[in-house]
Structure 1
């Protein structure tokens, strides 16, 4: 999916560095910062700005090392290019990661230093919340740069519900395609992840009459979601459960050559980015008769919300765009109905056409 990066030997010292990108990576810019005073270690990757400035959230996560962080930010930024293009937004794809445990390392000084780092892109990269960061964090980051969306103050706030609503709409469309007009009513859904999006998705599913099985490594998150939704079941894992739908809403790459054969669900649709470890996973799912709604189609609701701060549509238009995710999935499934291509292939063709139109056919 993404090629490796070549890191200069002197990158052990403090400072900001543009990283040498291998010619086959496809990324436009990768920049890293190390700041010993605040403990900040962060990477921003801009994948493609053909459609507009790169917008993508900041993930604060305890990566084992910079190599793992680089791999993640490359995959995530490419996914944002696909997401923006699939949603028809005039935005490019970018992403950022901060290395460290947010519960132990996050401080106002670190976030302010990160805001100054974001400002070095002069609007070429616009940040937002993600795993490990909140709308309140965006307020602090925004004190140092104007290139921030999703703030509590002067912004559209946390995008968790918008993301969950888009995933629900996509999932409902997939369920109608497979099981008819009843959709998700009476269907069992294994939700993996009880965070900002997963918890909201559980509520939408319960309201729709679905039977939810929830899994999360954080027992507090599970307890909080169960208290808000009495009657839902819990499990240590849901990927191999006997459920109709698998909804990955935590970290990515849960679907790989080892886990896909144990998957029992007929429909996969969730909020996690980069759900497939490799492109081969898409073919494997299709060949075994599992319908996968591409993550970059299903989880675009949050991006649509925060993009309103850049593209300036009204609130009603934002709501309409999020609701149309379901219609987009229905169209994608209709295009692939004859079996000659997977739904993911149909979605990718839409993305490639939009990028090619923006670059005069060079995508």
Structure 2
């Protein structure tokens, strides 16, 4: 752990336990040797999450869970990012419990399954395709392997529908994934696969997805931290021209930039964790964390030199995970635009005297 950039969001003991167990189960060496995450790690990682009680962290105690909050989940998720955990943790353990009350009686059954680890959710965001014979295809599903359910974010005229399908009776066709730690597939559903649906306006859907944006930002911080630590360790021992390369000014500057980006991302993410209902805080944190993770993981590969571009070096797994999270749920460009639009709207909102409160505050700062 790099000193000063990894404080606990909530509980240091919880973080330390998660770090220890996840380090023991880290897939890096196996993936570097060509192991398939969908068969070698997804199942074992999910069993670990269930055994440790992590799957029930956001499930109410009345349904067999721990009844904890986003801060406790964040302690676990950052370590998951750092150790390349293979599995849909935020989707299953945090997003689905948040949606369960809108799924009626089905929701109670789901909550108990989430808590015990038997419910695992794949994510489909692409539009559904219809086939003859009343069968439908979800052309791109993340975490499809071993999923008990699939959550589809379907576009509607006035918003988004969160549609939940059972995978019983479905057929899967594995697809080539950019991120080898996250298997993807095309899934042909059984005719009676749909078990629950919750329609939301765009504003409501944005609220529902807030915890996912926060935990995605947290995971990106974990990824950036792990890549930064690998880069520091390498430049401390790699020698050229009779010196360790960490003494070279160009490398010092790049590491200083990375440390600054990581520190800023952690501040933004910590703020979002402490204010879990603030849309701007959550979305801005995810943008800042994604920018930091993309730069730091790229620099990690560069600082490793020629070996950094080889499959056997695990640096590329962090870059690919960061790239996937950067693009998830519409990508950070869309979040940046929405946050900017809300800020501009706040400036145009005037009080009874015809002056914007946001504008007044901005003028004082200037």
TM-score of Structure 1 vs Structure 2, range by shorter chain? under 0.3
Mark the structure with the bigger radius of gyration.
2
Give TM-score scaled by structure 1 length. 0.26
Structure whose residues are more often helix by fraction: 2
Give TM-score scaled by structure 2 length. 0.26
